[in-house]
Amino acid sequence: MYIVSSYTLAVIFCFVTMLCWGSWGNTQKLAAKSWRYELFYWDYVIGMVIFSLLIAFTAGSIGTEGRSFIQDCAQADMASIGWVLLGAVIFNISNILLSASISIAGMSVAFPVGVGLALVVGVLNNLIFHPKEGDNIALLLTGVALVVVAIICNGAASGKVSNAQRDPSQNKKGIILAVLAGLIMSFFSALVYNGVDINNFKSPQAGMLTPYTGMVIFTLGVFLSNFIINTIVMKKPFVGSPVTYREYFAGNAKTHLVGMLGGCIWCLGTALNYICAGTAGAAVSYALGQGAPLVAAIWGVFIWKEFKGAQKGVYGLLAAMFVLFIAGLGLIIVSGN
């Protein structure tokens, strides 16, 4: 399988993760013109499964180092598979909440609040359960603290959006959903790493999984749990009337493909994040990937114009958010070098 051995390359791949995780929401925004997010989410999950299999049978099966995808599947024990599936269920709950928040409050609010919070708590989880020797904890925590302040700036900016632009009660609901999404999402990475051997990709521990196999099992776990979790949300939506599977199958091919593209984008970012965890460390790779709110905020502010009509001072808060996020990510990078 393909293994990343350079810290510099690992950081570059983590930035690609950040771009992917911060950009998949654009496909939901595109689909939302004629498609509820609950229906979009099915295509999104299907795209995840397809791309995980594609990367497992290509990058996960080439070379002489490590175990190939098929070999790894054959030797995996149930405990490792169980940890990854548990992480998948936790992620799926949080990501559906995040999708609901995007549909209500927009990308520039949902991502900085939800994913930013997941970054902060998730880094602490990975530091506790999967520490990497050589990490500068003081710098890492300082970077995380700057991200926390950036999240606060974003929340303040969201409060300055005019009532004509966004209903206050709905905006509050969107923020609450984002907070719940972030708290729940912060645990999935540490759970997955319990089943994936991130310390030795070249000679993985017997019974544990390589990142490529872990990615496939993870996406299958998301897909299977979706029959319960998303079905409940379809019947009891956070906003609007219930939607049915009949409506999903009535969708056109273009709309379905947009959702699958979103899943492929997310899966590419996640696969790169897992591949780099052994070289960059679980905490650093996770933290850099979760810099996605910076990317999503750029899309939301400048492309989707989600703060158009906001009160005076909102762009100063947004500028502070961008600066703090960049500074925080910079410290996180340096902390693991």
Domain boundaries, the chain: 7-335
Q: Say what the pLDDT of residue 170 is.
A: 76
Q: How confident is the model at residue 202 (pLDDT cuts 50, 70, 90)?
A: confident
pLDDT of residue 111: 81
Q: Within 10 Å of residue 58's Cβ, how many Cβ atoms? A: 13
pLDDT bucket at 155, cuts 50 / 70 / 90: confident
pLDDT at residue 284 greater than cutoff 80: no
Bigger pLDDT: 169 vs 302: 302
Query: Quick one: tokens of 178?
Result: 């984002």
| DSSP type of residue 130 | S
State yes or no: pLDDT of 10 exceeds 80: yes
The pLDDT-based confidence of 167 (bands split at 50, 70, 90) is: low
> What tokens appear for 151 in the block?
């999240």
**Whole-number pLDDT of residue 267:** 96
pLDDT tens track for 228-246: 999 999 999 998 899 999 9
Buried b or exposed e, range 233-254, using 16+ CB within 10 angstroms = bbeebbeeeebeeeebeebeee
**pLDDT of residue 204 exceeding 60:** yes
Which residues, 6 or more positions from 135, have their beta carbon under 8 angstroms from its beta carbon? Answer: 127, 281, 283, 284, 335, 336
- Confidence band, pLDDT 50/70/90 cuts, at residue 20: very high
Q: Could you tell me the end-to-end alpha-carbon distance of the chain, in angstroms, rounded to an integer?
A: 25
Q: Which residues pair with 305 in a beta bridge?
A: none
At residue 165, the pLDDT reads 54
Predicted pLDDT at 168: 63
Q: Tell me phi and psi for residue 324, to 5 degrees.
A: -65, -40
CA–CA gap between residue 266 and residue 52 (Å, rounded): 10
Is the CB of residue 284 less than 8 Å from the CB of residue 119?
Answer: no
Residue 310 to residue 136: CA distance in whole angstroms: 40
Of the pLDDT bands very low, low, confident and very high (cuts 50, 70, 90), residue 118 is confident
Taking a C-beta distance cutoff of 8 angstroms, is the pair 137, 331 a contact?
A: no
Q: Which of 74-78, 194-198, 279-283 has the lowest mean pLDDT?
A: 279-283
Q: What mean pLDDT do residues 111-129 have?
A: 82
